[in-house]
Amino acid sequence: CSSTTPITATLFPGDGIGPEIAESVKKVFTTAGVPIEWEEHYVGTEIDPRTQSFLTWESLESVRRNKVGLKGPMATPIGKGHRSLNLTLRKELNLYANVRPCYSLPGYKTRYDDVDLITIRENTEGEYSGLEHQVVRGVVESLKIITRQASLRVAEYAFLYAKTHGRERVSAIHKANIMQKTDGLFLKCCREVAEKYPEITYEEVVIDNCCMMLVKNPALFDVLVMPNLYGDIISDLCAGLVGGLGLTPSCNIGEDGVALAEAVHGSAPDIAGKNLANPTALLLSGVMMLRHLKFNEQAEQIHSAIINTIAEGKYRTADLGGSSTTTEFTKAICDHL
Ligand code: NAD
């Protein structure tokens, strides 16, 4: 599409801090003149029998139709016996890869100056298959499912991503020494795909060692691909390297060309409704969505405005050591635009 053709995108404001940071994205996008019309969908209050979750069928249809969307965090009540909203979205929309870039923000000093990592998380199976049951009283089982099809699909995505984004190395993260069958199959698939990309260096790193290497020297890594649970944990670790969860975006990629961007963080119930949340992670997710739509000019404008606002240091939210509210920080970004 050209950069002026209006596009309809689905927006899930989500729970907790979600509506506050979604409001920020809407303001910044409007100020930047992004030609996007939002189709807003909210998490329902009753289970929709068609989806077996609080997400309605109409919400899922909206993403399928628009093929692009932005999602705020959705809370998952622990042990309440209904399907997680995030799992429902990932499974129903076949969002098989979650791309989580993590880079040092110029002007915001942390222990590391040169972080530039891409975590690619398998998003549909592994430990998140949702297959748990009680065997006998006091004994429960959770099934970790790894399939050749899903492993090849995410490995293929990771290598293609590396190639098209000028990246040099793909590291498969695993625990195949212990989970020989499941992680073993995941690695086998990564190796198969690696053979098709001789120009990309391929390596395999055990997850515990990977954590140590990441905190010691994040520059050792480039693109990391891994099963679901490891991706969840490693990407939060990576967020910690550059300033925390308020900063790291992601985009879920589906098989039918669907892209649903979302922040890595959750609904942050401890600060919800207090106008304290950092909207950067969701804003940068919005930037990923714009790049996916080839709205490159607006994506770069918004990206620069965010980076410049943080670098200037006058307006920062509490997680970055500042005292600005979500609305003050958002206004500062709009002023930069
Ligand atoms: P969380 O990411 O919500 O919060 C962890 C910590 O980071 C908290 O101290 C929080 O205040 C802080 N934080 C997170 N985002 C921030 C932001 N934008 N600005 C400033 N501080 C921020 O993790 P949690 O508390 O473990 O999870 C809360 C809920 O979110 C749970 O129900 C969980 O299931 C859900 N969750 C949803 C998603 C998602 O929708 N993709 C992801 C992770 C967790």
Distance 74 CA to ligand 1 centre (A): 9
Whole-number pLDDT of residue 157:
97
Write out pLDDT tens, residues 305-322.
999 999 999 999 999 999
Query: Atom 1, ligand 1: which residue's CA is nearest?
Result: 266
The answer to whether the beta carbons of residues 26 and 306 sit under 8 Å apart is no
- 24 alpha carbon to ligand 1 midpoint, in Å? 17
In this prediction, what percent of the chain has a pLDDT beyond 90?
86
Condensed to tens digits (0 to 9), the pLDDT of residues 13-61 reads 999 999 999 999 999 999 999 999 999 999 888 888 888 888 999 999 9
Both tokens assigned to 148: 């050749």
- pLDDT, tens digit (0-9, with 9 covering 90-100), for 203-218: 999 999 999 999 999 9
Question: If you write DSSP's letter for every residue of 270-326 in order, what string do you get?
Answer: TTTTTT----HHHHHHHHHHHHHTT-HHHHHHHHHHHHHHHHH-SS--GGGT----H
**What would you report as the CA-atom Rg of the chain, rounded to the nearest whole angstrom?**
20
- Mean pLDDT throughout 225-240? 97
Q: What is the DSSP letter of 130?
A: -
Q: Report which ligand 1 atom has the smallest distance to the Cα of 21.
A: 18
- Judge whether residue 323 has pLDDT over 50: yes
Q: How many angstroms separate the alpha carbon of residue 47 from the centre of ligand 1?
A: 23
- Residue whose CA lies nearest to ligand 1 atom number 12: 268
Q: What's the token pair of residue 169? A: 């190395």
Q: Which of 121-130, 244-253, 290-299 has the lowest mean pLDDT?
A: 121-130
Lookup result for tokens 């748990």: 132
Q: Among candidates 157, 90, 93, 176, which has minimal Cα distance to 130?
A: 90
pLDDT tens digit sequence for 272-282: 999 999 999 99
Give nearest CA residue, ligand 1 atom 31: 75
Nearest CA to ligand 1 atom 22: 246
Task: Evaluate if residue 255 carries a pLDDT over 90.
Answer: no
Q: Which atom of ligand 1 is nearest to the CA of 72?
A: 40
Residue 3 has pLDDT above 60, yes or no: no
% helix / strand / coil in the chain, to the nearest 5? Answer: 40, 20, 40
**C-alpha–C-alpha distance, residues 90 and 282, integer Å:** 18
Categorize the per-residue pLDDT at 4 as very low, low, confident or very high, splitting at 50, 70 and 90.
Answer: low
Cα–Cα distance, 292 to 233 (Å, whole number): 25
Binding-site residues, ligand 1, Cβ < 6 A = 17, 73-76, 86, 245-246, 262, 265-271, 277-278, 281, 319
Coil, strand or helix at 59: helix
* Confidence at residue 47, expressed as pLDDT on a 0 to 100 scale: 86
Q: Residue 53: its pLDDT value, please?
A: 85
